[in-house]
Amino acid sequence: MDFIAIGDTTVDEFIRLKEAEVACDSNNENCTVSMKWGDKIPYDFSIVVPGVGNAANAAVAAARLGLSAGFVSNIGSDHYGEEVLAAFTREGVDATHVVKNSTIPTNHHYVLWYDSERSILIRHEPYPYAMPKEFSPPKWIYLSSIGEHADTFYEELVDWLHEHPETKLAFQPGTFQIDMGKEKLAPLYALTELVACNKEEAERILGLGETDIKTLLENMLSLGPKIVVITDGTKGAYASDGTQMLRVPMYPDPRPPYDRTGAGDACTATVTVALSLGLPLAEALRWGPVNAMSVVQEIGAQKGLLSRDALEKLLADAPTTYTVSPL
């Protein structure tokens, strides 16, 4: 297997709001959305998207880009769990190590979607996390968001990685993994080939306030990974392997973004896939924003994920301004 993602999966239920107010600070950041309290709030429509989540999105991205991809996760023995498995089957993602739990339901999140942005109401069920038995070492493991009850799992994974140095680890920390603190996950960071997050997440991981990208890259590298990728919304994506610092702009949107859910997952998973194919860091970084651009044109985190042929065509047709440059 080329690529196995590990993390929670969920059913995302999108609720497209009609009426809301958005307020941002003077830099057009730190935005909040508000609705009338105690009122009936109209919405346009809702749609259920099964089999998503940071790691699940990465597995689908890898499969569409041509890798043999699998997924390690938990679901409930319920209707939504069957929908999740059906979604992975359609995408060609091996779900052999997706465990059905008879007493714990499938994760179900609610996405409050207004304009092109969204806030997600999340609940990670308390699944029993463990490294699968008879688990053949893949070329890459992609670890991302898992619930808050997984402390011993990280110790198991660290032991497994020590025993299988041929497998490279990409780590995209999720909310609870960030909240655990970098000290508690220090052994994991030290074994990581690639760590990827957005700018605000890097600041939280490092316990810093507003910090420039160069400093964030340097400090994230000091945790032990060989490569760090940091995305910064419309400002583009950045990467460093300790010898070079690189920046790539956003790939131009063909039309205004429809839904930004999964853009970061698409970018970091695609960079990881490109590295797994043997591309140099600069070219891998160039791949990431192309898939992110495509994802935000559709509803949900996976519908817009590209095939390798489609991605390479967009790269070939990219404007001359879409280049990787030293930071």
pLDDT, residue 193, reads 98
pLDDT, tens digit, 9 for 90 and up, residues 39-65:
888 899 999 999 999 999 999 999 999
pLDDT, residue 48, reads 94
pLDDT, residue 177, reads 95
Label residue 21 by pLDDT band (50, 70, 90): confident
Is pTM, for the whole model, over 0.95?
no
Q: Is 103 helix (H, G, I), strand (E, B) or coil?
A: coil
Main-chain phi, psi angles of 315, to 5 degrees = -65, -40
Across the range 119-139, mean pLDDT stands at 91
Q: Which of 320, 326, 292 is nearest to 306 (CA)?
A: 292
What element of type H or E holds 48? strand 43-52
pLDDT, tens digit, 9 for 90 and up, residues 193-205:
999 999 999 999 9
29 has pLDDT over 90: no
Residue 292: other Cβ atoms inside 10 A: 27
pLDDT, tens digit, 9 for 90 and up, residues 133-170:
888 999 999 999 998 888 899 999 999 999 999 999 99
pLDDT, tens digit, 9 for 90 and up, residues 162-190:
999 999 999 999 999 999 999 999 999 99
pLDDT, tens digit, 9 for 90 and up, residues 208-266:
999 999 999 999 999 999 999 999 988 999 999 999 999 999 999 988 888 888 899 99
Report the C-alpha gap between 197 and 152 in whole angstroms: 23
36 has pLDDT over 90: no
Torsion sign over Cα 213, 214, 215, 220: positive
**Where would I find the H helices in the chain?**
54-64, 79-91, 151-163, 175-180, 186-190, 199-206, 213-221, 263-276, 281-295, 308-316
128 has pLDDT over 80: yes
Report the C-alpha gap between 201 and 21 in whole angstroms: 25
Q: Which of 130, 189, 197 is nearest to 157 (CA)?
A: 130
Looking at every residue in the chain, the average pLDDT score rounds to 94
pLDDT, tens digit, 9 for 90 and up, residues 271-313:
999 999 999 999 999 999 999 999 999 988 999 999 999 999 9
What element of type H or E holds 210? none
Report the C-alpha gap between 311 and 297 in whole angstroms: 14
Tokens 């404007």 belong to which residue?
Answer: 319
pLDDT, residue 259, reads 82
DSSP secondary structure string for all residues of 62-96: HHHTT--EEEEEEEESSHHHHHHHHHHHHHT-EEE
pLDDT, residue 44, reads 92
By the 8 A CB rule, do 219 and 252 touch?
no
33 has pLDDT over 90: no
Label residue 317 by pLDDT band (50, 70, 90): very high
**Where would I find the H helices in 164-197?**
175-180, 186-190
Question: Going from the N-terminus, what domains does the chain have, and what CATH number goes with each?
Answer: 3-20+41-326 (3.40.1190.20)
Q: Which of 153, 144, 136 is nearest to 265 (CA)?
A: 144
pLDDT, residue 186, reads 97
Main-chain phi, psi angles of 301, to 5 degrees = -90, -5
Q: Is 245 helix (H, G, I), strand (E, B) or coil?
A: strand
